[in-house]
Each structure stands twice: as structure tokens, then as C-alpha cells.
Chain A
Amino acid sequence: MATTEVHPASEPARWAYLDRIRTRPGPFTNPDSFDGKVVAEAMENMKILVIGAGGLGCELLKNLALSGFKDIHVIDMDTIDISNLNRQFLFRQTDVGSFKAEVAARFVERRVKGVKITPHNCKIQDFDEDFYMQFQLVVCGLDSIEARRWINAMLVNMVDEEVEDSYKPLIDGGTEGFKGQARVILPTVTSCIECQLDMHAPRAAVPLCTLASIPRQPEHCIEWAHVIAWDQEKPFPDLDKDDPEHITWLYQKSLHRAREFNIPGVTYSLTQGVVKNIIPAIAATNSVIAAACCNEALKIASNCAPFLGYPDNNYMMYSGNDSIYTYTFRHERKDDCPVCGTLARPLPDIDQAWTLRDLVDSFAARPEAQLKKPSVRAEGKTLYMQSPPSLEAQTRPNLDKTLVELGLVDGQEIGVTDPAFATVVFKYRLKFKS
């Protein structure tokens, strides 16, 4: 604790508390990487990207603005809904219908003087590598696994070993009810989101025959209305899950079916929950997880204390259901990670009697793949392509051939692409059931 000197960059009185920590070393600060004299100024010059301006995003913007970052961008394509107001505290009743990114950016700029926030009311997929290259840090507050995988693949692919600036640390938060997690990814150096994919296994789908002929749960009746009745009756041209009229139609259909089978428990709220796959969310948990993420951002940007990601732990799991429990651990990189690894990932339990269609259909539910529109190649040959339509038509006959007929053997390496992850070829190794 050699020095007690504080090195503020600007407005020393306002940032007194922050400067005490970020510009002076503590007992856990690594003296080799820390230079208190330059921290404040360096952070003011950093560009940081926030993905998502929802429950976590609102918190992230507030936290980063009050952590000494001055140049923040935020991406979100969504507009504000009334059900956001119980936690997305930058929005008011009068903002319903406006872009989240826009409203959130303006609010934080007004409240915290000297911070510049640039909103982007669009999808992350609308930007290319050049755009992402301008940032030093990326912080995600997303509710979709797919978007996380996309940005993860982008940041991993951007790494150029010879260019130090091409390594963009990715900090990711997620919540559900009283639970959540915060993790730090140093692309190509530590375990990435794709390495950790199996920690977010998709919920098992209910078999179609259960929905069609033997429903037992209220959810079965709702799914029946959603996937079968809607298609048969087409009450509206397209299903809009945010349109109360559409949800009411599904609710009444579900209720009718439930009565037919004496199944109790179908409600409007449950219908909405099942159809929209609603995840319960509260301000308190978002506050915990977003702050955990931004705490790591501050430490990474200033080196004033060791951060998650290197060399040991990179993942904090938080659970508040039963007392409070955190588990902070190191998730190991996987050599067979389709994004940051070099080896093909094993794909077990493949039945050699399967057709290619069975294989293609299985990708969506497999925890290690979770690909909804896979195209498959093997040994340089295209087996099935989802697009363009001409290629799809040409390769469609293969779908009904068995794996054996297509010459696929146990241990075979295949390459899978999916339009959701344009840049990535997922490499898998087929393992046949004995």
C-alpha cells in the first residue's frame, strides 16, 4: 500500500469515492498491471458497448455511467411495453411504445452529467466487425441465448493474435426470478458462451402426439391452441404474441380444450406465459446481476483489483430463492467448442437407422447444439442446405435417406451452419448408438 495519492482526471469532488478505489492500489491489486496515475483518464477515453436496454440494460447503463465510463453505446431493437415498468426504471408510462435504447440513453445522459450515450435502435446482427472493433469492452444484458451466441461468435472471430486491440472482453449477465449469473469471457483465452452452452439447456418440448391426442396439463392445451388450432383456423393472418386479442383467442381455445378433457388450471396469465415463454423478472435480481457485471467492467478497465476471467474464476452463479447462495468458479474452455476450439464436438446417441431429416430435426433440442435451421455438410459434400431455395430443393431428397445410405459412419465429422450464426461452422463428430 505504497501510495495513498489520488489521481482524478476531471471533476475530482464528484468522483471522490470512485477515485479513492480506482486510482490507489489495495492489498489485492496487482502492481505489475496497475498504474493509478492513468486510470481515470484512460477510462474516460474508453468506448464501451452495452447490448440490451431492458431489465439488465437499464441497470448496466446507470452503473457504467457511475463507474467513470464516459462513452457508452447501447443496442436494442425493442420498444417499451407496460410489463417492463416493474423493473426497467428508466422508463415511464408515457414512454410505452418508444425505443428502449433511445429513452434509456437520454435518461442516463440527463441524470449523470458528462456521460455520452449513443443509442442504436436495431438488431446486433445489423452491424459488422468494423462496428464492434471500435469498443474496448462489451457488456450484455440479453434474454435470448441466440443473441448471446451471435455476439460471442463475432467477438471470438475478431481476435487477431497479432493485434492486442482485437481482444474484446465480453461480460454477460442473465436472470430468472430470484436467480442469475454473471460471467466474463476473454475471447479465445477463456471459456466462451458456446463452451458453456450446456449450462443453458433448452426446456424439453412436449411431444406432438401428447398435444394432439392425450393432453394432461393446462400447458398441453395451450400449446395445442398455439401450434395446432391456430394453424388450422388462422383467426388472424399472423400471430402477434403482444396483441391481447390474439392471446385471448388462444386462451379461449385452450380453455375449451381443457374443459373437454377435464383439465384444470388454464388461465389468461398462464396462456400468455406459455405462448411468449415469459421468464419472471424483478428489479432486485437485475440490480444484483447488472452490478456484478459492471463491477467486473470497472476492474477490467482499471486493474484496481483482480477481475473474473483471469486467471481463475470466470463465472458467478447467484441464487436468492433459499437464503442467498453464490457459486463463483472457473468454467474450463473446451477444445471441442465449435466457436473457440479446434476439435469437433462429439454428438452422441445417433441412431444409424435415422434419416438425415431425423438428424437435422434433432439439432434444435440437443443441449450441445441448439440450432434451429441447420444445414449439413460432410467431407466437402453438401448434404442439406436450408437456403437458397434452389439449393434447398436440390438437397431435399437427401432428407429421406438414412445416414448409412448417405455414407455417414460412426465417428464421422460433419460441418453444420445456421443462419442465426452466419460466420460459424459448427464441427461435430457423430457417435452412433451401439
Chain B
Amino acid sequence: MTEIVMSQTPPILHGPSEKERKYDRQLRLWAASGQAALESANMLLVNSGAGTVGSETLKNLVLPGIGRFAIYDEAEVSEADLGVNFFLDDSYLGKSRSRGVTELLLELNPEVEGSWYPNEGVRTLDALLAGSQVFTVIMYTHPIQPEQLSQLEAYGQKHRTPLVAIHSAGFYSFFQINLPGAFPIVDTHPDETAATDLRVLRPWPELVSFAEDLTKSIDDLDNFEHGHLPYVVILLHHLEQWKATHDGKYPATYKEKTEFRKIVQAAARTNTPEGGEENFDEAAAAVVKTLVAPSLPSGLKEVFEYEHTDPVEQSSGFWVIADAVKRFYETHQCLPLPGKVPDMKAHSRVYIQLQNIYKAKARKDAAEILEMVQATPGGQHVDPAEVDLFCKNAAFVKLINATGWGSDAETPRIDRLRSVAAAEFAADASAELTLTPLSHLPIYLALQATAHLPASQPPAVGAILSAIAALVPGAERNERVVQAAHEVARAGAGELHNVAALTGGMVAQEMIKIVTKQYIPVDNTCVFDGVEGRCQVLRL
């Protein structure tokens, strides 16, 4: 189920504000904190080519209420724009395209500010970049002039601004996210069932005594009481009994867990009107999932192993907390308890007690970590709420773009593309045996080959293939690459509205994830094939 926004303060007895009503359906996804982040975002779109994918992306960001946007687009509105771009009409023919799109997008949400360039005051991209408030994210569409791309890349380096390249042509598209460094996310929104951590194999004294109290005379309980023992308590009770007959060890292997499950099932009373007990069914069903020893999830392991030497990273609350959690893990051999208890058959009172035992332990763990954080140089300024959030989500914290890219990375980008190409082509060769979908790398190559061709020169197959040969020598002879080149040539640098809209939707989702630091962004390239109706994410 979707996470619902809950306020910590006592609820107020009046209805939601006008703004909360308007944004209700999205606040249920990213809460007030995500909304505040969106509303302070300042986004730049450098638009060119057929120009629709950029407009569609911004539409999906203006509607949920980003703070402001700017469009830089040197094109004038042509007839062809009116057949593909919804945010232009006849009245703009011959006029600045950035102006038309900006004005029609602003109609969608009076709370958003937008501006368009070039205009009489700001005539070049350079001037815009030099004279604007720092941009939160910059998106640019292909084809882009190489000198403009260099300007954007320099700006991105200087201001640590994420850059997103977008290319849509005919049935194909891709976008590529270039983050300025490792990008950690705490609020990843895992599925609730996956995020349940009951720690029945590492119970703490309060939980142990609570379970013992409820089960010390389990056989004397009346049917109602017996049928309302929370399944966590049932598991703890039978685990203790198991340990007593198994040298103090918990069931570990699949076989032992199956045996344990049978014991739990057999402990249910059958002389009830229903012929069984739901809480024991719940306990048996939870055995395999719940009887797992605490371990370090791979995402968090990557965080622990990442060497953060960059001064900007050093001073960020995230890394200070991550270091503290790492020390906590080394000391206790388990992560801070998230503290959430799923619903289970139980009395209201007993369930609330159980919930409070978990919450108290979670608070205790978080307090221990907060103490470590505050003892760290620079840690005094870390917001305790940030520590809390980290502790609740520790198992699902994720690091994107951990290895970086660009001139300072160890592997130049072109080498990475070539090694990915080799791996993808090799996988394709055995795709029929492994029943895996074919790679979208050919599509990426064919589009990338036309990344700087002006829209006025529709690309020919031969030119595309020689550009591909320069990117990945030999790839131009691959049959699927040749097909992709033909498909790109067919589009003639033109967009299909549907593919532009679909890509604009995906890019907008990604921008929302990056700005709100919630959910997990693409790392780092997503390629869409509208012939098959399928995406592939590649790390290039």
C-alpha cells in the first residue's frame, strides 16, 4: 500500500487547505517534504530539434508545482511544430518557440514561474547561465551544438548541477542522467512487506519478557485469548522451545524452517468454530520471511564501503549519519530497528503494547546513533529528524552513481561505452537460449550518432553508421545496429508525439525523484523502443 502522509503533531480539526486539496493525489506519494523540495526547484530546459520532448517533460513538472523554470530555445515556431507540440498554437507561428511554450505551460499552474530565452535582454546561453540563480537541474535535448554542451558541462561541474540529456526521434528515445557525484537516497519508499523487520532472531529483553508474559501459561488460555496472541509472540514462544531442544540454536536451514513451520501449525487449536486459528496461520505463513538473521543489505554495504573524501560530501549530514550507522552495525552486528509492526490478528491493547515495544527500541537505537553523530566534528548541525529517517530506512538506503563519471573518473566515458557494448552484444548472441530481451544499446548508438546533427540536416543511414563506428568500432556491422540506424533515418530527426510524451513522462518522474530525494532514480541511461514497447536501463 502507498505510504500515507501522517502528521506528528496532534491533528487539527479543520479540513485541508486549497493547496493541499489541489495537490492531494501527489502528496500521498512524496509528502509535504517532497512538495517543498519541488517548490524550491529552479529548472532549465535547453531545447532544440523538434522540441516536443522538452515541453512534455516540463508539463509534467509544472503541474505538480515546481518553483520555476526557464526555457532556452533558439528556434522559431514552424508549421511542423504545430503537428507535434501541444504547447504551441497558430498564433505563435514565426515567433520564438521558447516564448510560446513558456506562456502555454504557465497556464497550467498559476503557482509556477517561468521565463524564456533568448530574449532582448539575454541573447545567449552563456549570458543566461551567468546571470541566473543557480539551477537545480538542467535538461537539454538533442541535437545540441557541441559548444553549448561544453558550456552546460562546465556549469554542471562548477555548481554541482545534475545534467540530463534527452533524445527522442521517431519510435526511439533515450535520456541520460549525469549526476555531479555519488547521490545517496534515504527515503527510497520500499514495498511495505519487504521493509518489515521484526527481529525475532535477535529479541531484546523487553520483547522477550512481553512474549513470555503472554505465553507462560499458553495452554490455559481460553480460546479467545489463544486465538488473539499476536503472531510475533507465537513465533518467539516456539523459537524459545526450539532452542531448548536444539543446543540453543535457531532454525537456520530451509529444512529446519519447514520443520519449525509445521510445529507452529500444529500448535493451533482445532476445536474452534472455524476449525483453526487465524493468528497461527499468520505465524506459520511468516516463518520463512521472518526467520532471517540480521544481515547487511547490498545497497547499504555500498554506502559503508564508499570512500567519501570530497569536502562537500564530508560535510553532508548523510555521510556523518552513515558513518555512525556503520559503527553501530560494527558494534551490534545489526542495523538500528525500523520499529514498524505490520497489522496482525490481536487485541487492540496487546497490539498497541507490542507496537510500543518496537517503537521504544527504535527510538533507543536512533538516540544512540544521534549521540555518535553529535560527537562527530560537524555533526552538531545534523537535524535529528534526518537521523530518524535514516534509521527507519537504513536497510534500503541507496547510493546512485557511486563510481562517478566524466574527466575525473578513472575510466573515460567512451571506454565505458565500448565495454558495455561488448557485454551487451555478447548477451544478445545467447539471448535466444537465455530467453532474455534483446539489448537496446543499438538504439542508443543510433540516436547518439545524431546527437549533434542539426535538425535541418536529416541524417542518412550511411552517416549514422560511420558515426557509430567512431563511437564503438565494429558495431556498425551488427545487424541490429544497422536496423536501428535505418529506423532513426526514417524519423529524419522528427519526433512522434507519443514517444516524446512517454519520454517526457519518464524524465519528469526522474526529475521529481532527484529533486525530492525520494524513490530511486535511473542510474544512468534509459532507452525506450516504441516499436516493441519496452525500456532498458544501462549504466553508460
Residue of B nearest to A296 (CB): B533
Report, as a range, how many residues of chain A touch the other chain: 35 or more
List the interface of chain A (C-beta within 8 A of B).
1, 11, 13-18, 20-21, 24, 26-28, 59, 62-63, 66-67, 82-83, 85-87, 89, 92-93, 111-113, 176-178, 182, 203, 210, 214-217, 244, 247-248, 251-252, 255, 261-263, 265-270, 272-273, 278-292, 294-296, 298, 305-306, 308, 313, 316, 318, 320-326, 328
Asked if A280 and B26 make an inter-chain contact with CB atoms under 8 angstroms apart, the answer reads yes
List the B side residues contacting A306 at CB < 8 Å: 531-532
Asked if A284 and B508 make an inter-chain contact with CB atoms under 8 angstroms apart, the answer reads yes
Asked if A283 and B59 make an inter-chain contact with CB atoms under 8 angstroms apart, the answer reads yes
Q: How far is the CA of A17 from the CA of B498 in the complex (A)?
A: 12
Q: Let me know if B424 is at the binding interface, CB within 8 A.
A: no
Nearest CB in chain A: distance from B82 CB, A? 5
Asked if B171 and A280 make an inter-chain contact with CB atoms under 8 angstroms apart, the answer reads no
- Specify which of A216, A252, A263, A305 lies most central, judged by the most chain B CB atoms within 10 Å of its CB: A216
Q: Let me know if B29 is at the binding interface, CB within 8 A.
A: yes
Q: Let me know if B23 is at the binding interface, CB within 8 A.
A: yes
Asked if A113 and B504 make an inter-chain contact with CB atoms under 8 angstroms apart, the answer reads no
Q: Quick one: given A255-B11, A321-B189, are A283 and B63 in contact (CB under 8 Å)?
A: yes
Q: Let me know if B300 is at the binding interface, CB within 8 A.
A: no
Given contacts A296-B533, A328-B533, 4 further A-B contacts (CB under 8 A): A244-B15, A291-B505, A295-B498, A326-B533
Asked if B522 and A324 make an inter-chain contact with CB atoms under 8 angstroms apart, the answer reads yes
Asked if B28 and A269 make an inter-chain contact with CB atoms under 8 angstroms apart, the answer reads yes
Nearest CB in chain A: distance from B57 CB, A? 9
Nearest CB in chain B: distance from A380 CB, A? 34
Asked if B532 and A323 make an inter-chain contact with CB atoms under 8 angstroms apart, the answer reads no
Given B63, B495, B532, which contacts A89 in the complex, CB threshold below 8 Å? B63
List the A side residues contacting B89 at CB < 8 Å: 111
Q: How far is the CA of A320 from the CA of B518 in the complex (A)?
A: 12
Q: Let me know if B486 is at the binding interface, CB within 8 A.
A: yes
Q: Let me know if B22 is at the binding interface, CB within 8 A.
A: yes
Asked if B496 and A298 make an inter-chain contact with CB atoms under 8 angstroms apart, the answer reads yes
Asked if A15 and B6 make an inter-chain contact with CB atoms under 8 angstroms apart, the answer reads no
Stretch among B141-149, B211-219, B344-352 lining the A interface: B344-352
Residue of A nearest to B497 (CB): A66
Nearest CB in chain B: distance from A171 CB, A? 11
Q: Let me know if B521 is at the binding interface, CB within 8 A.
A: yes
Q: How far is the CA of A252 from the CA of B13 in the complex (A)?
A: 8
Q: How far is the CA of A213 from the CA of B23 in the complex (A)?
A: 35
For the complex of A and B, list the 6 residue pairs with the smallest distance between their C-beta atoms, beginning with the closest: A17-B494, A287-B505, A291-B502, A288-B505, A13-B79, A66-B497
Q: Let me know if B426 is at the binding interface, CB within 8 A.
A: no
Asked if A86 and B4 make an inter-chain contact with CB atoms under 8 angstroms apart, the answer reads no
Nearest CB in chain A: distance from B419 CB, A? 21
List the B side residues contacting A255 at CB < 8 Å: 11
Show 14 A/B contacts (Cβ-Cβ < 8 Å), sorted by A.
A13-B80, A20-B491, A20-B494, A86-B22, A244-B15, A267-B4, A269-B24, A283-B505, A284-B60, A284-B508, A287-B60, A294-B501, A305-B530, A316-B533
Nearest CB in chain B: distance from A25 CB, A? 8
Q: How far is the CA of A268 from the CA of B465 in the complex (A)?
A: 59
Q: Let me know if B222 is at the binding interface, CB within 8 A.
A: no
Asked if A295 and B22 make an inter-chain contact with CB atoms under 8 angstroms apart, the answer reads no
Nearest CB in chain B: distance from A251 CB, A? 8
Q: Quick one: given A16-B83, A321-B519, are A280 and B29 in contact (CB under 8 Å)?
A: yes
Residue of B nearest to A258 (CB): B11
Given B50, B65, B86, B535, which contacts A17 in the complex, CB threshold below 8 Å? B50
Q: Mark B74-92, 1 if CB is under 8 A from A, else 0.
A: 0000111011101001100
- Specify which of A14, A21, A292, A325 lies most central, judged by the most chain B CB atoms within 10 Å of its CB: A21
Asked if B499 and A263 make an inter-chain contact with CB atoms under 8 angstroms apart, the answer reads no
Nearest CB in chain B: distance from A399 CB, A? 20
Q: Quick one: given A13-B79, A269-B5, are A295 and B530 in contact (CB under 8 Å)?
A: yes
Asked if B497 and A63 make an inter-chain contact with CB atoms under 8 angstroms apart, the answer reads yes
Q: Quick one: given A247-B15, A268-B15, are A83 and B25 in contact (CB under 8 Å)?
A: yes
Q: Tell me the chain B residues, 1-48 only, with Cβ under 8 Å from chain A.
A: 1-2, 4-7, 11, 13, 15-16, 18, 20-29
Q: Quick one: given A83-B24, A216-B346, are A111 and B505 in contact (CB under 8 Å)?
A: no
Q: Let me know if B523 is at the binding interface, CB within 8 A.
A: yes
Q: How far is the CA of A207 from the CA of B509 in the complex (A)?
A: 37
List the B side residues contacting A291 at CB < 8 Å: 497-502, 505
Asked if A16 and B494 make an inter-chain contact with CB atoms under 8 angstroms apart, the answer reads yes
Q: Let me know if B283 is at the binding interface, CB within 8 A.
A: no
Residue of B nearest to A85 (CB): B22
Q: How far is the CA of A199 from the CA of B509 in the complex (A)?
A: 24
Residue of A nearest to B354 (CB): A216
Q: How far is the CA of A16 from the CA of B534 in the complex (A)?
A: 26
Q: How far is the CA of A111 from the CA of B330 in the complex (A)?
A: 62
Q: Let me know if B520 is at the binding interface, CB within 8 A.
A: yes
Q: How far is the CA of A20 from the CA of B110 in the complex (A)?
A: 37
Asked if B25 and A281 make an inter-chain contact with CB atoms under 8 angstroms apart, the answer reads yes
Given B110, B170, B343, which contacts A217 in the complex, CB threshold below 8 Å? B343
Nearest CB in chain B: distance from A305 CB, A? 5
Given B4, B64, B531, which contacts A283 in the complex, CB threshold below 8 Å? B64
Nearest CB in chain A: distance from B47 CB, A? 15
Asked if B343 and A282 make an inter-chain contact with CB atoms under 8 angstroms apart, the answer reads no
List the B side residues contacting A290 at CB < 8 Å: 501
Residue of B nearest to A89 (CB): B108
Given B108, B352, B526, which contacts A216 in the complex, CB threshold below 8 Å? B352
Q: Let me know if B487 is at the binding interface, CB within 8 A.
A: yes
Asked if B29 and A214 make an inter-chain contact with CB atoms under 8 angstroms apart, the answer reads no
List the A side residues contacting B502 at CB < 8 Å: 287-288, 291-292, 295
Residue of B nearest to A255 (CB): B11
Q: Tell me the chain B residues, 52-73 only, with Cβ under 8 Å from chain A.
A: 56, 59-61, 63-65
Asked if A87 and B25 make an inter-chain contact with CB atoms under 8 angstroms apart, the answer reads yes
Residue of B nearest to A308 (CB): B533
Q: How far is the CA of A15 from the CA of B486 in the complex (A)?
A: 21
Q: Quick one: given A89-B108, A290-B501, A323-B523, are A111 and B86 in contact (CB under 8 Å)?
A: yes
Asked if B351 and A216 make an inter-chain contact with CB atoms under 8 angstroms apart, the answer reads yes
Nearest CB in chain A: distance from B286 CB, A? 16
Asked if A86 and B63 make an inter-chain contact with CB atoms under 8 angstroms apart, the answer reads yes
Q: How far is the CA of A15 from the CA of B347 in the complex (A)?
A: 66
Asked if B531 and A28 make an inter-chain contact with CB atoms under 8 angstroms apart, the answer reads yes
Asked if A14 and B82 make an inter-chain contact with CB atoms under 8 angstroms apart, the answer reads yes
List the B side residues contacting A295 at CB < 8 Å: 171, 496, 498-499, 502, 530, 533
